[in-house]
Amino acid sequence: MAVVAILVSLSAVAAAGKDLTLSARSGEFNASTLGSAASSTAIAGSFRIVSFFGTGAWPPAAYMGIHQGSNRDNSVQVLATRNREADHFLVVGYRLVVDGKEVKVASLENVPLAATVRMSVVFKDGVAVIRVNGGNPVEVRTPFREVAPYISVSSGRAEFVIDP
């Protein structure tokens, strides 16, 4: 029941079923916050990278997740990245970033370059529950108290669908 209430609040925050595209030139990053910070929130939907503008130093990636504060130095992200230009797949996983440093990083699966990644993050009481491509939920404990849902892209262009 609590998950239903959180997802209902998400639909108000994310403007009910939004389709968005973000682009970032090679070596750059672009992000969009989708709502106000709250002590419990959720983001669910899908994303796919449609163009790759990578560099060895900053590979193309698309992200959906939550962040605390005015930037993403404190965040939990589901991401898909093409680590090397020669790779014919994306690595899909998640990471916890605290004070701008990766505290926890986990790869979950490899998918084709054109794959659409389905995901959800439900946040409550400092815990983010992540689900990717119908897999088992993963619980990530954070020091965060209030977060906002967001999407982002680096070194490429990505399409996002935010579920209502």
pLDDT digits (tens, 9 = 90+) for 60-111: 999 999 999 887 899 999 999 999 989 999 999 999 999 999 999 999 999 9
Across the strands, what pairs with 112? 89
The whole-number pLDDT of residue 115 equals 97
Mean pLDDT value across residues 5-34: 72
Which structural domain range is residue 128 located in?
Answer: 2-162
* pTM > 0.75: yes or no: yes
Confidence at residue 7, expressed as pLDDT on a 0 to 100 scale: 37
Angle at 103 between CA 100 and CA 30, to 5 degrees: 40
Distance CA 51, CA 24 (A): 10
Residue carrying the six token digits 């990717």? 132
Contacts (Cβ under 8 Å, ≥6 apart) of 131: 119, 120, 137, 138
What was the pLDDT predicted at 72?
84
Structural domain tally of the chain? 1
- Using the predicted structure, report yes or no on whether residue 15 has a pLDDT greater than 60: no
Helix (H, G, I), strand (E, B) or coil at 121: strand
Q: Given phi > 0 = left and psi -120 to 50 = alpha, else beta, which region is 10? A: alpha
Among residues 54, 41, 115, 117, which one has the least CA distance to residue 83? 54
- In this prediction, residue 4 carries a pLDDT of 35
Which of the residue ranges 39-43, 52-56, 106-110, 131-135 would you say has the lowest mean pLDDT? Answer: 52-56
155: phi then psi, degrees, rounded to nearest 5: 50, 45
CATH of the domain at 140: 2.60.120.560
Is residue 6 scored above 50 in pLDDT? no
